[in-house]
Amino acid sequence: MKAESHSHAIGCCDHADRSGRLSWLFTGSAFVIAAYAGDLLYPDNPMAAEISAVIGALLLAAPIVWSAVRDLFRGELHMDAPVAIAVLSALALGDFRTAGIVAFFMLLALVIETQTAKGAHGAIEALIRLTPAMARRILPAGKSEEIPASALVVGDRIRLLPGDSVPADGELILGQTTLNEATITGESIPRDKGPGDQVFAGTQNLTGAVEVRVSRIGEETALGKVRELILAAEQTKLPITRIIDQYLRYYIPVVLTLAAAVWFFTGDWNRVIAMLVVSCPCALILATPTAMVAALAAAARNGILVKNVSDLEGAARINAVIFDKTGTLTLGELGVARLAPVADISPSDLLEWSGTAEKFSKHPVAVALRKLAEQTGLLLGDPEAMEETAGRGVTAQVAGSLVQCGRASWLRELGIQDPRLDAAESGDSAVYSTLFVAKDGQYVGWIGLEDQVRPEAAPALRGLVDLNIRKIAMISGDREAVTRMIADRIDCPEVQAECLPAQKVDYVRHIHAQGYRTAFIGDGVNDAPALAAGDLGIAMGAAGNDIAIHSATVALMNNDLMRIPYLIRLSRDARAAVYQNLAVAGLFILGGLILSGISWLPPVPAAIAHNLGSLIVVFNSARLIRIEHAQTEKTP
């Protein structure tokens, strides 16, 4: 026969039938209360009170004893065995009131523990229930039919009306709407969606009637992967949990030996019963899993997927954070940072000429010019005779003038020679991706573009400093001048520029070799080796991105960098909760054994003390669910 810890993380007894247990609890407690009432009201007729006590004790003891007997026949010895022995001992001694009260408090605490701890699991299961049961599939004739969401296949077109939950991942193909994506990304602000945008299962359509082409169904959706990863993470164990499990196999024999020794020397069954009741290590077994499940639920609700519970615990020990630049600290989108016209030319003229010439180009530079023109209210006309030379620039007729935009070397090849062009190329423009502009053969200025810094980048780094992260660094394959300019803007103290992917890995390993616990944050697509090299790899923007989800140990479902300090803070709070829980559990068990062994703690107070320890552990863990992600600050 083998001694084992709980087969579940919650409670001491079997948890299969909560409603049945509640029925036993209320019925049995009514008989026990009636017994005490009979003692007070009918002292001359003790038989009725005694019968009521017997019935109540048997009803309350039955679930506990049955669970222990069933485990015994399975060749297992679970942690509810001492309680079952204690209750049977009280019954055998004829102390039915004690047996009933002890069993009552054990079952009552079990119900409370289960319902409280279920809040953490409920936060996770709530994610799973978000996908609707039905969907409106559009038929070839244009009409729609209601079908089970499980019957959808990739390629189906579905119609979403305001208030609908999205049944599958897909691409919006018709209409405009606003979606609440908090369930996937953790973002509370709804996002506007138009044709070509992705939509995710489990999100809510708020405004428009739209059509979506299904791209992923079932477990392949972003929500399905969230569920899969969370459930897998729940099954993993921390090292401290494995140590507890290893030593618990010796626990029951030791407790039974101590109880037998106390009975041998004192002959006091009340001491033995109290020791057996207080020794049940529910609080000890609940200490770690309740805290970690609550932390996993809090992380998931805030758009953070943790693949392994040990990674969640390990985040608490991180003291070095390394960021990739492009797409992580920056948006990965070019934006106009500077308009530098020559004398006698206005910035708006420079933008109008270049923006019009580039109007029909799909190059990121052209997109940035059009965006700035739109933001400033500048109307761009249509160019004439536009010609785009790949990798070099654009030539177009703009309002009767020849406008040429591109590299400085290309303008020279076109015969444009100007000392101001040479000076600009080697001067201030060196820190930008630069577009040089000529009009009618004359150089008229340059436009500096740069990858836009995420607005929350600087606050996120300040948050890491507040958490006493000892080393914060940015690494990039970009030019030194550009990388340092970004670093200065967000107050990043250390910079590594012009690095190849292999050099990024070497740098992460170098920091680790110096004794740091490192976290590397990247986009999960180009940074997979560096993500794997760190103690913790965190991929940004994993919603709908399978590569990002699978390449890192932690996946952020959105691109909010404020999740990084939040994750570390949550991990530290979870670790502290585990240590607090273990201390409480150890104190209640050790103190209870000593006090009951010297007859200072009778059986009924022992049951209350045992339950109090378990409840403290569960409630202490449950508070982690309420830890919220801080709102992104605005950069100064």
How many Cα atoms sit within 13 Å of 190 on the Cβ side? 12
pLDDT at 518: 95
pLDDT at 12: 44
Same domain (yes/no): 264, 275? yes
Structure confidence at residue 461 as a pLDDT band (50, 70, 90): very high
Round to whole Å and give the CA distance between 226 and 128.
9
Structure confidence at residue 636 as a pLDDT band (50, 70, 90): very low
pLDDT at 550: 67
Q: In angstroms, how far apart are the furthest CA atoms of the chain? A: 121
* Residue 609 near residue 588, CB atoms below 8 Å: yes
Structure confidence at residue 462 as a pLDDT band (50, 70, 90): very high
Structure confidence at residue 634 as a pLDDT band (50, 70, 90): very low
pLDDT at 7: 38
Residue 246 domain-assigned (yes or no): yes
Residue 160 lies in domain: 134-217
CATH number of the domain to which 536 belongs: 3.40.50.1000
Tell me which residue of 412, 416, 423 sits closest to 439, measured CA to CA: 416
* Residue 564 near residue 464, CB atoms below 8 Å: yes
pLDDT at 355: 93
* Residue 540 near residue 328, CB atoms below 8 Å: yes
Tell me which residue of 388, 526, 527, 372 sits closest to 450, measured CA to CA: 372
Average pLDDT score over residue span 584-604:
89
* Residue 171 near residue 215, CB atoms below 8 Å: yes
Same domain (yes/no): 255, 265? yes
DSSP H or E stretch at residue 585: helix 563-597
Round to whole Å and give the CA distance between 177 and 172.
9
Residue 304 domain-assigned (yes or no): no
Residue 438 domain-assigned (yes or no): yes
Same domain (yes/no): 111, 14? yes
Q: Is the pLDDT score of 9 beyond 80?
A: no
Last residue of a domain, one of 434, 453, 472: 453
Same domain (yes/no): 107, 238? yes
Cβ neighbours of 605 (radius 10 Å): 18
Provide DSSP, 592-621. HHHHHHTTSS-HHHHHHHHHHHHHHHHHHH
215 burial via Cβ count (<10 Å: 0-12, 13-18, 19+): middle
Q: What single-letter amino acid sits at 88?
A: L
The pLDDT tens digits for 310-330 are 888 889 999 999 999 888 898
Structure confidence at residue 119 as a pLDDT band (50, 70, 90): low
The pLDDT tens digits for 329-350 are 988 788 898 999 998 899 999 9
Provide DSSP, 49-78. HHHHHHHHHHHHHHHHHHHHHHHHHTTEE-
Six-digit token pair at 427? 């001067």
Is 324 considered catalytic here? yes
Round to whole Å and give the CA distance between 507 and 513.
10
In the 8-state DSSP scheme, what is residue 628? P
Average pLDDT score over residue span 95-106:
73
**From the candidates 71, 95, 164, 324, which is the catalytic residue?**
324
Same domain (yes/no): 388, 504? no
pLDDT at 21: 59
Average pLDDT score over residue span 521-531:
76
Lowest-confidence region among 222-236, 317-331, 582-596: 222-236
Q: Is the pLDDT score of 265 beyond 80?
A: yes
pLDDT at 517: 94
Contacts of 606 (CB under 8 A, 6+ apart): 102, 273, 274, 275, 277, 278, 592, 596
Q: Is the pLDDT score of 1 beyond 60?
A: no
The H helix count followed by the E strand count for the chain is 22, 24
Same domain (yes/no): 505, 425? no
Six-digit token pair at 286? 């609940």
Lowest-confidence region among 16-25, 61-70, 187-196, 570-579: 16-25
475 burial via Cβ count (<10 Å: 0-12, 13-18, 19+): buried
Same domain (yes/no): 206, 66? no
* Residue 39 near residue 46, CB atoms below 8 Å: yes
Same domain (yes/no): 10, 106? yes
Same domain (yes/no): 500, 610? no
Residue 413 domain-assigned (yes or no): yes
* Residue 450 near residue 482, CB atoms below 8 Å: yes
The pLDDT tens digits for 556-580 are 888 889 999 999 999 999 999 999 9
Structure confidence at residue 620 as a pLDDT band (50, 70, 90): very high
pLDDT at 237: 61
Same domain (yes/no): 444, 476? no
CA terminus-to-terminus distance, the chain: 67
* Residue 394 near residue 419, CB atoms below 8 Å: no
Round to whole Å and give the CA distance between 152 and 156.
7
Round to whole Å and give the CA distance between 633 and 566.
13
Tell me which residue of 124, 119, 123 sits closest to 233, measured CA to CA: 124
Q: Is the pLDDT score of 122 beyond 60?
A: no
The whole-chain average pLDDT of the chain stands at 81
The pLDDT tens digits for 200-211 are 888 888 888 899
Residue 635 domain-assigned (yes or no): no
Chain length of the chain: 636
Provide DSSP, 144-161. EEEEEGGG--TT-EEEE-
Same domain (yes/no): 99, 160? no
Residue 636 domain-assigned (yes or no): no
The pLDDT tens digits for 439-460 are 999 999 999 988 888 999 999 9
Round to whole Å and give the CA distance between 465 and 572.
15
Alpha-carbon distances, residue 496 vs 295, 325, 361, 518, 631 (angstroms): 34, 10, 33, 16, 29
Round to whole Å and give the CA distance between 387 and 369.
17
Contacts of 46 (CB under 8 A, 6+ apart): 38, 39
Residue 376 domain-assigned (yes or no): yes
CATH number of the domain to which 425 belongs: 3.40.1110.10
Q: Is the pLDDT score of 23 beyond 80?
A: no
The pLDDT tens digits for 47-90 are 877 788 788 878 887 887 787 778 777 766 566 667 777 777 77
Higher pLDDT, 9 or 109: 109
Structure confidence at residue 373 as a pLDDT band (50, 70, 90): very high
Q: Is the pLDDT score of 2 beyond 50?
A: no
Contacts of 44 (CB under 8 A, 6+ apart): none
Same domain (yes/no): 112, 70? yes
Contacts of 434 (CB under 8 A, 6+ apart): 408, 424, 425, 446, 447, 448, 449
- The pLDDT > 90 percentage for the chain reads 27
CATH number of the domain to which 144 belongs: 2.70.150.10
Residue 307 domain-assigned (yes or no): no
Pairing mode of beta strands 433-439, 442-453? antiparallel
Tell me which residue of 25, 576, 611 sits closest to 281, measured CA to CA: 611
Round to whole Å and give the CA distance between 163 and 202.
12
* Residue 60 near residue 100, CB atoms below 8 Å: yes
Number of domains in the chain: 4
C-alpha dihedral sign at 564, 566, 569, 572: negative
Q: Which long-range contacts (CB under 8 A, 24 or more apart) does 437-441 make?
A: 437/350, 437/353, 437/354, 437/403, 437/404, 437/405, 438/403, 438/404, 438/405, 438/411, 438/414, 439/353, 439/398, 439/401, 439/402, 439/403, 439/404, 440/401, 440/402, 441/402, 441/415, 441/416
- The pLDDT > 70 percentage for the chain reads 83
Higher pLDDT, 34 or 434: 434
Q: Is the pLDDT score of 166 beyond 60?
A: yes
Last residue of a domain, one of 161, 187, 217: 217
pLDDT at 20: 56
Average pLDDT score over residue span 397-415:
91
Last residue of a domain, one of 165, 195, 217: 217
Structure confidence at residue 396 as a pLDDT band (50, 70, 90): very high
For 447-459, the three-class secondary structure string (H helix, E strand, C coil) is EEEEEEECCCHHH
